[in-house]
Amino acid sequence: MPAQARRRHLLTAMADAGIEHVVLYGNAWQGDYLRYGADFGILEGHGIALVSSAGAAELFLDSATEAERAEVETPGIKIHFAADLARAVGARLDRVANRRLAAAPLRFLPHWLADKGRSFVLEDVTPLLDRLLMHKLPAEIAALRRAAQMADDAYAVFRDAIKPGRRQYEVVADIEAYLRRRGCPDNFMIIGSGGTDVFGMTPPSERRIAPGDLVTTELTPAVEGYFAQICRTLVVGKATAAQRRAFGVFREALSAGIAAVRPGATAADVARAENDVFREHGLGDYTTSKWTRVRGHGLGLFCDSKPHLLEDVGTPLAPGMALIVHPNTYHPEVGYIVLGDAVVVTESGAEVLCKTPRELFEVAA
């Protein structure tokens, strides 16, 4: 099980660093640090896990509903409901104030806990936890493979759900229903539909699908807490020559990015390989922050984790790291296009987890 392997890995890292207690924060948007130590996927409010070097773990939650759920889902972990989360955790840390204590991510903790006036001092071990989160264990990779299969299956459902006149939220509701029936309650998904008036993807709106639309999605289901993402674009009706020509640039950029994924390369190398394709086609401006955010990012217990694939991010790649490589950006002739596959870094390069063809799919208009 990934959770058991993670806990052993965390305890080993704590022992190597001489840390006796680690404080891990999470909230409903980003709960990967918390889940790494407590194996609890927080859905609302805030949570803090306290893990000792002896292996014991306690979980503090400021939502009564979440505390009740945690009692059922995390056997072996002591659960505390605390409306004033900071002071409840602080009172617990007062009892071990003479020990070596650390926290991740320290910058997200309630300021009161990190204040120098406390009886305890929390060191920042965010870099250590980031390394654990980025470098996956075999059990974690296995979960990511299952999540990628789920993403492929869900995208097939997405294609079938696209029909002129349907609203974006109706399409996304079909995907959510499908994933829930498959036992997958967690999916991060955004969507776009239209032409040159569309500059990105957003949560689903009431906008109706129309003939000629490019319909894009970033679909990211989780299995056992691990997110795997797929990015694809389809057209409602027959693709135009301009749409096919533009899509060809994205397919070339994705292939270049994945080819750059190998041990010893950096996140910047992958981003540069993608961006160079756009530059060669006279589209270099559309690789900048004016038009796009990242050229991919890490995957794992959070849907948008480190490292971000940007030309100024020097994080080295190593076997066991999982990424989504996606040259998603605006194209001036046709609008916003997305294309991306989840990959795992191997000793020889990249294992591509997504099996959906890299096509500009056409659906009936």
Binned at pLDDT 50, 70 and 90, residue 279 comes out as very high
Shared-domain flag, residues 69 and 153: no
Which parts of 182-306 fold into alpha helices (H)?
241-259, 267-280
pLDDT at 307: 97
**Residue 121 parent element (H or E):** none
E strands, 202-360, where? 214-223, 226-227, 230-236, 296-298, 322-325, 329-331, 335-337, 341-345, 350-352
Using the 3D structure, point to which of 116, 134, 152 is the last residue of a domain: 134
% the chain with pLDDT above 70: 100
Shared-domain flag, residues 230 and 150: yes
The residue-averaged pLDDT of 65-90 equals 96
Shared-domain flag, residues 34 and 9: yes
Binned at pLDDT 50, 70 and 90, residue 114 comes out as confident
Q: Is residue 364's pLDDT more than 90?
A: yes
Q: What is the CATH number of the domain that holds 60?
A: 3.40.350.10
Binned at pLDDT 50, 70 and 90, residue 117 comes out as confident
E strands, 53-175, where? 57-61, 78-81, 101-104, 122-124
Q: Cβ distance 326 to 304 under 8 Å?
A: no
* pLDDT tens-digit series, residues 228-272: 999 999 999 999 999 999 999 999 999 999 999 999 999 999 999
Using the 3D structure, point to which of 112, 134, 156 is the last residue of a domain: 134
pLDDT at 155: 98
Shared-domain flag, residues 208 and 347: yes
Q: Could you give the number of structural domains in the chain?
A: 2
* pLDDT tens-digit series, residues 293-318: 999 999 999 999 999 999 999 999 99
Bridge partners, residue 208, by sequence: 167
Angle 194-195-196 from CA coordinates, rounded to 5°: 135
The residue-averaged pLDDT of 321-349 equals 98
Q: How far is CA 286 from CA 178, 249, 333, in A?
A: 35, 12, 12
Binned at pLDDT 50, 70 and 90, residue 343 comes out as very high
Q: What is the CATH number of the domain that holds 332?
A: 3.90.230.10
CA distance 208 to 205: 8
Q: What is the mean pLDDT of the chain?
A: 97
Q: Cβ distance 192 to 202 under 8 Å?
A: yes
CA distance 349 to 7: 28
CA distance 174 to 194: 20
Structural domain harbouring 25: 2-134
CA distance 26 to 89: 14
Shared-domain flag, residues 342 and 231: yes
Shared-domain flag, residues 245 and 203: yes
Shared-domain flag, residues 105 and 233: no
pLDDT at 247: 98
Shared-domain flag, residues 116 and 129: yes
Shared-domain flag, residues 37 and 149: no
pLDDT at 1: 80
Shared-domain flag, residues 142 and 97: no
CA distance 291 to 287: 7
Structure token pair of residue 229: 């993402």
Q: Cβ distance 81 to 102 under 8 Å?
A: no
% the chain with pLDDT above 90: 98
Shared-domain flag, residues 167 and 90: no
Closest CA to 192 of 158, 226, 160: 158
pLDDT at 291: 96
pLDDT at 320: 97
Shared-domain flag, residues 195 and 232: yes
The residue-averaged pLDDT of 12-25 equals 97
Residue-wise over 258-295: b if at least 16 C-beta within 10 A, else e?
bebbbeebbbbbbbbbbbbbbeebebeebbeeebbebb
End-to-end CA, the chain: 45
The residue-averaged pLDDT of 57-77 equals 96
